[in-house]
Structure 1
């Protein structure tokens, strides 16, 4: 693979040093220098693919757009490879860092509607905070409906599915929606969720989720109170038998791993073995992985270590709400008995769309500077921006949230 001449510039854009990156990766600053200058990767730490994925994730976490983060390592995102023309993928792989990147964290900072704003707008309940109480609270665009249907079909009929979205993109909402659907529809499906608190993809950063942890979670969930057998091989056989017995009385099982972008590569490889657990022709365990965009990199078809999993795993993405901002806000406000037209001015929606998009200028293969738009129009970002604008409106006694107040909220 190519060297990383752009990584230093990418770190500067997100105001982080090579030493900061070294601490995040759990390697020495000298190792990062060797990566950047000489394309020499330290042994261990999950290998080169693992380190590249973690570097991309680190850059995205600190505000760099996904495509630019990949480009910093001279890589094209998997989605770009799959969905663009052959030349476009090559251009993305050699793109440089953006020249006019705004700080996305300025737009994503958490805001809630304060008491004065709630009184001013006569808001009985915050429409953006702790508002999800039933499936009727879930906003459904065509894309979200497809992802929701994919999750339900996987849980009910089997398969392996990866759900990918940016932070705040609605992944957890759909996970809760799936659990609510299983319960309300009385579907005979058991959800198995290993604990992922503190999960990271290396021992240097946290506690990796291992196959033994998944095996234990299956046994404890499907057959509560059953003592775990001592050796892992015996425990694996125990899990298989428990799943078969449960399936024979009509139960189905779905393993859901949230924060799956933090899975270690060996664990991802082992998922194939869980997926292949069968009783005759009947699959015993469906798998749904839910994670941020780094998961897309880890499940890249170009990573030979996980190719067998990638061949069996469907991937669906939750895109930004660029064309659904007004419909989304109407839905959120209506759920707390508020009138969108009485609270939000006509120019506010376009202001939200513009502020949550930014233009990235890059160098293409032809050496020309080319621009494209990156969107952050995800539910959490929209919620925060409108909440902040409502707080700003109180200061001047404005009766509605206007485009000017949306802009002022960002600058506040």
Structure 2
């Protein structure tokens, strides 16, 4: 029934106007329009008749009404299912919906409706704006200790789990520490040269030289360049500095480069002191490359520590949302009620592959903002369970 939204817009009417006319809640109308979920308590044809009558009175054109009627009850010769579908089709439609959505932005009218001067899920501007679940706190500290002292660490998480936020936080924490962060550019990086530009050991050596000794000209031959890098790291270490190599999108690293990184860890040393720590940050595909069963990288898998970013626990979701609302100067109850929080759990708690939780910060933020936009559109004072289901 997405076309119904277009017809309402052409008439200058909103979903709330239609809801009042047919004596249903705005959230119920939102579920009908966005997900084709018809209320079970009312006969479908009876409800459509009431809607059609109101649309005619509001000025809708005959062809628009006819097109909508075909969506409600398609001609049998075009129908892919019986003319009157079984009730459990509603459940199937809901199960087939994409549970994760693209990036959402709060509309200006939404901000006005809820008195928001900033987006509760806006990009973080300071470290104290991070919500630290026990899992994030542990991985955050692991990254810091690796950078500050020594280690070979892989941070793995789904898209939107908070990897980039942790990387920015680490850079912030190291600003006043004697640690030089080396971050090779990974724009366009792929794991082979047929798909994009692969990151090779020589590129990493160039990045080390640029970060540690930017005024020194890099040697031309690979062997001389690696020797130069080693000597540069020794001199920097003697001056009291530590060095950490941070590579984002590490799931796109070629296998040879992963093996070279392990050799850098082994050979770039001064006595018992390792001269460079390494932090790889990537999506779950990195786990496959680093599997101990992968013979090509067995030597790497035996040396590297893997930290996986887990979804926010169901029991922590309310605290997470309250923290984000506080960031925007609002109490949680001013934006969403308990039913709405539970609906987010039901929507994202088992929406991944094999029923896995998708309660990651980005997915939560997008669903919450979409629900706020819908609540403002239909005139709800807070996000309720029906509003979340109507997104």
Q: TM-score range by the shorter chain?
A: 0.7 to 0.9
Q: What is the aligned partner in structure 1 of residue 187 from structure 2?
A: 197
- Of 130, 143, 149 in structure 1, the residue corresponding to residue 141 of structure 2 is 149
Q: Does 1:108 find its partner at 2:101?
A: yes
Tell me the CA shift for residue 357 of structure 1: 3.2
What's the secondary structure of 1:389's corresponding residue?
A: helix
Q: Which whole-Å deviations, capped at 9, do the CAs of 1:164-184 have from their partners, x for residues lacking one?
A: 00000000000011011111x
After TM superposition, the score normalised by the length of structure 2 is 0.74
State the alpha-carbon separation in 2 of the partners of residues 281 and 345 from structure 1.
Answer: 57
Partner of residue 279, structure 1: 270
- 308, 326, 331: which one pairs with 1:334? 326
After TM superposition, the structure 1 stretch with the greater mean CA deviation from structure 2, 377-386 or 349-358, is 349-358
Contact in 2 for aligned 1:261/1:294 (Cα 8 Å): yes
Is contact 1:143-1:318 (8 Å) kept?
yes
1:376 to 338, 350, 358: 358
Gaps of 5+ in 1: 1-98, 362-371
CA contact (8 A) 2:209 2:216 kept: yes
Indicate the RMSD between aligned Cα atoms, in angstroms: 1.8
Aligned counterpart for 1:288 among listed residues 275, 279, 291: 279
- How far apart are 1:199 and its partner, in Å? 0.2
Give me the TM-score of the superposition, normalised by structure 1.
0.70
Could you tell me how far apart the structure 2 residues matched to 1:171 and 1:332 are? 18
Are 1:406 and 2:388 an aligned pair? yes
CA contact (8 A) 1:112 1:129 kept: no
> 2:259·2:300 contact (CA, 8 Å) conserved in 1?
yes
Larger radius of gyration: 2
The answer for the alignment partner of 2:203 in structure 1 is 213
**SS of alignment partner, residue 305 of structure 2:** strand
User: Which residue does 2:128 correspond to in 1?
Assistant: 136
Structure 2 CA distance for partners of 1:194 and 1:100, relative to 1, 3 Å: farther
Partner of 2:39: none
Match of 1:306 among 287, 294, 297: 297
Counterpart check, 1:389 vs 2:371: yes
| 1:122 alignment counterpart | 115
**Aligned match of 2:224:** 234
Contact 2:212 2:236 in 1 (8 A): yes
Tell me the matched-pair count.
298
Q: Which runs of 5+ in 2 are unaligned?
A: 1-91
Alpha-carbon distance in 2 for matches of 1:100, 1:342: 31
